[in-house]
Structure 1
Amino acid sequence: MKATIYDVAKAAGVSIATVSKVINHTGKISEATRIKVLETMKQLNYHPSVVASALTGKRTETLGLLVPDISNPFFSEMARTIEDRAHDRGMSVIMCSTDDQSEKERKYIELLQRKQVDGLIIASGFRDKSLLDELKRNKMPLAMLSFDDPSLDVTTVSVDDYKGGYDAASHLLSLGHRNIAIIGEDVHSSRMRTFGYRDAFEAFGVPLIEENMLRTTASLDNGAKCVKELLKREHPPTAIFACNDLIAIGAIQGARELGIQVPSDLSIVGFDNTILATTTVPALTTISQPIEEMGRKIVDVLIEEIHKRVVTRERVLFKPSLIIRGTTATFNGEIMEGSQARA
């Protein structure tokens, strides 16, 4: 027999009104009482009716999460952190993967609104900005992850992509590399990382080779294709900065297929520090994003907005850090010819 709100109140030793306040986040209740009621609900496997809450205009205790590609380890790890934090805060998460397509963005936004989600976390690049304006007009609590557009009056949680790109390029330049390529995506975060990469060259007084700047979409295959294109040039790069770990691992695989050794022949730096970075051989030197801290923070700030405890929008910027592993080495002074890669 399913537990009722009366069973929860009796087992927790509180009134039905108190249980209702905990469920609906209303009224003044001590943290100890709130935790006791939540634990009792869990023990009795009691779940408030989401449908009933939606019909009466109450919160459904659900968040919507839009990501561009769940196959990218960064977004899958971030989604797990967000789900865990939301669960700790008494909420569930509905996740949708948009593949960076405007049509899917609109479709999933409409779906999540029909599901009566209490708030949205958007980690997708969001091609159609009019959708964001529409959400704001509808007063939907909203937070952006890994995407910071000052023109949008929304809470954002992101990493300092510019500094990450600067640190990645500076690391390779400090090792003596001068012919350094970058493989990025056509998204906001990659563009900021590229700006940092550019400015590192200027700081070191090293000319930038424009042909070394490639754009692709994040996948192992595309990372391999890009590195093969670069290594078959007459004067191939001695180092590569990939704007995410997925592309970086693909680049390592592509180099290996051409008989190019990492890091003795080619140094590679990634970005994200996902689980992939420690599973490849050699382990990947990469720029680390504090995924757990970012995931917890965005859930917390969105819940504050849902509960209308927010006066001003937050712009939270986390610092990245360089994690040096086995895919970068000092430049040995030997310039690899394109024919070597083609051999």
Structure 2
Amino acid sequence: MKATIYDVAKEAGVSIATISNAIHGKGKMSKERRAHILDIVDRLQYQPSMIASALTGKRTYTIGLLIPDIANPFFAEIARAVENRARQLGYSVIICSTDHNHERVESYIHLLLQKRIDGLVIGTGLENVELLAPLLTEAIPVAFIARDCISDAVHKVIVDDYLGGRLAARHLLDRGHRRIAVLSEKHNGERVRGFRQALEAEGLELPDELVQTCDYRIEDGKRAAANWLAHANRPTALFCCNDLSAIGALQAARENGISVPGELSIVSFDNTLLAAVSAPSLTTIAQPIEQMGKLVIDMLVKELQMSTGDKQRIVLSPELIIRESTGMSPKNKA
């Protein structure tokens, strides 16, 4: 037999109203008390009737999340951060992988509307902002995470990619690297722009032939890096705009007998778990994933609770994390 809210209230020794407030993030109560009640909810496997709430015009306490691919470590960590914060505030999350497919994005938005979601977090590219119209018409708050959007009708939590590119370039320049190649996704323009301008400030150029666009996959990073490493005048360093392409570059270097960082330095971007456990571990530009997940959910919930139309655009600063994959340029060594 499924547990009811009455069973939870009896176990916790509080009223039904207190249980409801704890689940939905309402009312005044200590963090300890709310956590105690939510532990009991988990232990008894109590599930509020979201369908009944939807049919009566009330909230379903459900938030949708669109990401390109849940198997991608960066977006898996984004999803975890979003889900953790949502749960703390009494919300469930429906996660949808879009594979960067426009039709799939449209299909999922329609599906989530049918599910009567209270809000939507978008962490994938959106080619047509008109797809947001049905959500905005229904006054469903929308927030973008790790992706910017031209619409002023949505919230945004992003990282300063331009600064991240400059941090990566500065780190490699300080270690004597002058011939550097870049692996970029098509949406990483600000990272590349920051990197290029940091080089230009030192009187150096980043030729277009040393910037290659590839998908966010290990095999693509490996293929692109292998092309450069086969040249006689190969780069002494690579800036990879995500961790997966950097892992591919590590594999290409290993298969070509090139030591990292002795002969080749690699800087990546994101700071997922992969960056710390790779061999050698990756120097990377870290995005504050936990903070991003918390902020994006807080934005949606605040709008739901206060019915405010004000939208926020929060830009967070990245951080350089120095590990084993970067060293002095071999051309500067005695």
- The TM-score, its normalising length taken from structure 1, stands at 0.89
CA distance in 2 between counterparts of 1:299 and 1:4 reads: 27
Paired-residue identity, %: 48
After alignment, is 73-82 or 305-314 more displaced?
305-314
Give 1:83's aligned residue: 83
CA distance in 2 between counterparts of 1:274 and 1:23 reads: 31
How far is 1:22 from its partner?
Answer: 5.3
Q: For 1:271, give the aligned amino acid.
A: F
How far is 1:234 from its partner?
Answer: 4.6
Give 2:248's aligned residue: 250
RMSD: 2.3
Q: For 1:275, give the aligned amino acid.
A: L
Structure 1 residues 231, 24: CA separation in 2 closer, same or farther (over 3 Å shift)?
A: closer
After alignment, is 59-68 or 146-155 more displaced?
146-155
Structure 1 residues 20, 78: CA separation in 2 closer, same or farther (over 3 Å shift)?
A: closer
Structure 1 residues 145, 47: CA separation in 2 closer, same or farther (over 3 Å shift)?
A: same
CA distance in 2 between counterparts of 1:256 and 1:164 reads: 27
CA distance in 1 between counterparts of 2:192 and 2:37 reads: 50
1:255-274 matches, within 5 Å, as: 255-274=253-272
Once the two structures are superposed, residues 18-60 of structure 1 have per-residue CA deviations (whole angstroms, 9 ceiling, x without a partner) of 555555667xx32249826545544543321111111111111
Structure 1 residues 58, 263: CA separation in 2 closer, same or farther (over 3 Å shift)?
A: same
Q: For 2:146, give the aligned amino acid.
A: S
CA distance in 1 between counterparts of 2:91 and 2:135 reads: 21
Give 1:305's aligned residue: 303
Give 1:53's aligned residue: 53
How far is 1:141 from its partner?
Answer: 1.1
How far is 1:17 from its partner?
Answer: 4.9
After alignment, is 99-108 or 127-136 more displaced?
127-136
1:210-289 matches, within 5 Å, as: 210-289=208-287
How far is 1:16 from its partner?
Answer: 4.3
CA distance in 1 between counterparts of 2:137 and 2:227 reads: 46
Structure 1 residues 62, 225: CA separation in 2 closer, same or farther (over 3 Å shift)?
A: same
Q: Is the Cα contact below 8 Å between 1:100 and 1:127 reproduced in 2?
A: no
Give 2:171's aligned residue: 171
Give 1:208's aligned residue: 206
Q: For 2:203, give the aligned amino acid.
A: G
Structure 1 residues 214, 12: CA separation in 2 closer, same or farther (over 3 Å shift)?
A: same
Q: Is the Cα contact below 8 Å between 2:24 and 2:91 reproduced in 1?
A: no
How far is 1:8 from its partner?
Answer: 4.0
Give 2:110's aligned residue: 110
Q: Is the Cα contact below 8 Å between 1:24 and 1:59 reproduced in 2?
A: no
Whether 2:311 is the aligned partner of 1:323: answer no
Q: Is the Cα contact below 8 Å between 1:164 and 1:287 reproduced in 2?
A: yes
After alignment, is 231-240 or 119-128 more displaced?
231-240
Structure 1 residues 71, 44: CA separation in 2 closer, same or farther (over 3 Å shift)?
A: closer
Once the two structures are superposed, residues 149-171 of structure 1 have per-residue CA deviations (whole angstroms, 9 ceiling, x without a partner) of 35432111111111001110111
Structure 1 residues 17, 260: CA separation in 2 closer, same or farther (over 3 Å shift)?
A: closer
After alignment, is 144-153 or 70-79 more displaced?
144-153
Give 1:98's aligned residue: 98
Aligned-partner SS, 1:65: strand
Structure 1 residues 8, 69: CA separation in 2 closer, same or farther (over 3 Å shift)?
A: closer
Structure 1 residues 288, 21: CA separation in 2 closer, same or farther (over 3 Å shift)?
A: closer
Q: For 1:138, give the aligned amino acid.
A: E
How far is 1:207 from its partner?
Answer: 2.2
Aligned-partner SS, 1:265: coil
Aligned-partner SS, 2:139: coil
Structure 1 residues 235, 25: CA separation in 2 closer, same or farther (over 3 Å shift)?
A: closer
- The TM-score, its normalising length taken from structure 2, stands at 0.91
Give 2:119's aligned residue: 119
Q: Any gaps of 5 or more consecutive residues in structure 1?
A: 336-343
Q: Is the Cα contact below 8 Å between 1:66 and 1:96 reproduced in 2?
A: yes
After alignment, is 308-317 or 96-105 more displaced?
308-317
Once the two structures are superposed, residues 192-238 of structure 1 have per-residue CA deviations (whole angstroms, 9 ceiling, x without a partner) of 10110111111112122221010010111000000011222352211
Aligned-partner SS, 1:144: strand
Q: For 1:245, give the aligned amino acid.
A: D
Give 1:197's aligned residue: 195
CA distance in 1 between counterparts of 2:40 and 2:252 reads: 54
Once the two structures are superposed, residues 113-141 of structure 1 have per-residue CA deviations (whole angstroms, 9 ceiling, x without a partner) of 11111111100011222112332233211
Q: Is the Cα contact below 8 Å between 2:266 and 2:325 reproduced in 1?
A: yes
